[in-house]
Amino acid sequence: MRIRSKRTAPALLTALLAGLLPSLSVATPAHAAGTSYYLDNRAGSNCADSGAGTQQQPWCTFAPVNARTFSAGDRILLARGAQWREGMTLTGSGTAAQRIELSAYGSGPGPLILKGAANNGISLLNASHWAVKGLEIDGHGSQKMIYGIVAAYKGAEGIGHEDLTFADLHVHHTHMGIYVAGNASPTADQWAVKGVRMDSVKGEHNEVSIAFGDDRGLDQFVQDAVLTRLELSNDDGDPAVYKGCPNSLTLQSMTRVTVMNSLISHAGGCTVPTGTTGIYLGHVTGADITNNIIAFTQQSGSPDQSGVNYEGWVNDAALRGNLITGNTRWGVALQAIHTGGPNRDTTVESNAIVFNGQPPVAALGSAAPGDGVIRDNLWEGTGLTTEVSGGDFDGFAFAGNAGPVTGGRVWYAARDFATGQGIYGWHYQYSSDAGATWADLAYNQADESWRPAGGTSLPLVEKWDWHPAGPSGYVARAWTAPRDGTVAIRGQAAKTDLGGDGVRVRITRNGGEVLSPRTVTGSDRVGVATDVDSLAVKAGDTLRFILDSGSAGANSYDTTSWTPVIGYLD
């Protein structure tokens, strides 16, 4: 499958470049660097577009924003609880020391941007050192909003930009929620934008929630992107489809991209003749997709309907520590359908690929056979792999894959994360004496974490991340076996917060080690596998997954992503 057909791809790109990004008039000079501009159109706000945009007299509409070029340290602040039915166009660039920020102020629900006359909610042109945070964008309208947020990099001026952050956003009912692309043509040693961060972005009922690039073959267009804590679900084009719902997350035209600690669920909710998937990769060099839930790509009558799709021209892309489940057809689709576009050096390891409609991993087509490794996965089905339309796995090495799992479920720590002890067999615990004794943590509703009772101190366990509490302050998830049998364990422990001297992980059964300590170094976002191939357990046995601060005991930068999974083999 392709994210769009050869007919529609040029049309969409042409629309972006020719019309969907508003034409920009000559902007007025920016005020002194570091100015905050306030917007509040609610009754009683004393707003006036003719004023200076102060908190005492904020601007009413986006017109003063659209007419201004912003400078390093400037902030555009939208009042919480306010709504606008218009589009915003942002120009100017910050610096590494002083970003420009679009965000919210006050109390109440996040500022809401609704579909108005403009095709887009927020448009950025050739932007460097920008952060967009704390907003909701709703694309409902008689004509759907095309892009909730579009960052376009155009022409020669669109080369060499860096530092673009999107955080704490809710984007829904658009064609594309967030789109980073453009017609800039960087050479092999250049880029359009480097250092893209997305954190805590929620997308739902879009056609595609987040997309990068196009199919021109410029892997270098977007570089060094880190996407974390995404929650992308139910991308079905509701209430009316504009183009189609091929996937929830499109990774194209990228070099070095990380996706971790994210939920990609119920993608592909409308029929697409070229196919649907949860995560789409094409023209990508260097991808790490680690510790995510990729689930329930919908039955829409489309081709593929997979969890993850390697479309073609993908090099060194790895799936590690993910739960890939409930997708209508395959968990992972490895396409070989584009002549000259093989997927090279593919890694599929330490995942749980279970309870999909068809076998976990499919090889499709014979025009461009790929290569790689498929190892140490926990799988379910009639077989681990299937060959479709002449596809084969001749270029792949296989080792250590455990399955099929039995009993109708696996225990994946992030999916099972709960607000009560013992739910799904999991307890959240800490030790202040280096693991000699253990006590339960208490749930902290304010930040949805488990911590010591009565406070917000360390250690902590969140849905995806953990953090220990110093030299003797260990933290653990403990799972109680519901029955006798043989289990396999899979997982990937990787640093979320880079820096420091690293951490250690280990696994015990009733206090005895079944996985000896593994070190995750301070800068290791790829991490280490935490796999146990076969382990006999009795009902009531405790498997404890333990994180500590490492041999030196230093506790800074120790936030670690680790969501182990357990499955019975008998």
At 463, is the pLDDT very low, low, confident or very high (cuts 50, 70, 90)?
A: very high
Of the listed ranges 332-341, 530-539, 547-556, the one predicted with least confidence: 547-556
**What's the pLDDT tens digit per position in 59-106?**
999 999 999 999 999 999 999 999 999 999 999 999 999 999 999 999
Of the listed ranges 82-86, 132-136, 287-291, 547-551, the one predicted with least confidence: 547-551
Of the listed ranges 28-42, 299-313, 508-522, the one predicted with least confidence: 28-42
Rounded-to-5 percentages of helix, strand, coil across the chain: 5, 45, 50
Average pLDDT score over residue span 493-511: 97
Structure confidence at residue 25 (pLDDT): 36
Amino acid code (one letter) for 439: A
Q: How many other C-beta atoms can be found within 10 angstroms of the C-beta atom of residue 460?
A: 22
Distances (CA, A) of 3 to 238, 278, 339, 388, 411: 19, 11, 17, 20, 32
**What's the pLDDT tens digit per position in 311-346?**
999 999 999 999 999 999 999 999 999 999 999 999
State residue 456 phi and psi, 5-degree precision: -120, 25
Q: Are 203 and 210 in contact (CB under 8 A)?
A: yes
Q: Are 314 and 325 in contact (CB under 8 A)?
A: no
**Three-state secondary-structure class, residue 113:** strand
Q: Range(s) for CATH 2.160.20 in the chain?
A: 128-133+190-399
**What's the pLDDT tens digit per position in 402-416?**
999 999 999 999 999
Q: Sheet harboring 465-467: ordered strands across? A: 442-444, 449-451, 460-461, 465-467, 560-561, 492-495, 528-529
Q: How buried is residue 497: exposed, middle or buried, by Cβ count under 10 Å (0-12/13-18/19+)?
A: middle
Q: Are 144 and 117 in contact (CB under 8 A)?
A: no
Structure confidence at residue 331 (pLDDT): 99
Return the CA Rg of the chain. Answer: 24
* pLDDT for 393 beyond 90: yes
Domain 128-133+190-399, architecture per CATH = 3 Solenoid (2.160)
CATH code for 411-568?
A: 2.60.120
Cα 299 to chain centroid distance, Å, stands at 23
At 141, is the pLDDT very low, low, confident or very high (cuts 50, 70, 90)?
A: confident
At 369, is the pLDDT very low, low, confident or very high (cuts 50, 70, 90)?
A: very high
Q: How many other C-beta atoms can be found within 10 angstroms of the C-beta atom of residue 301?
A: 12
Residues 444, 446: Cα–Cα separation, whole Å: 6
Structure confidence at residue 33 (pLDDT): 66
Q: Range(s) for CATH 2.60.120 in the chain?
A: 411-568
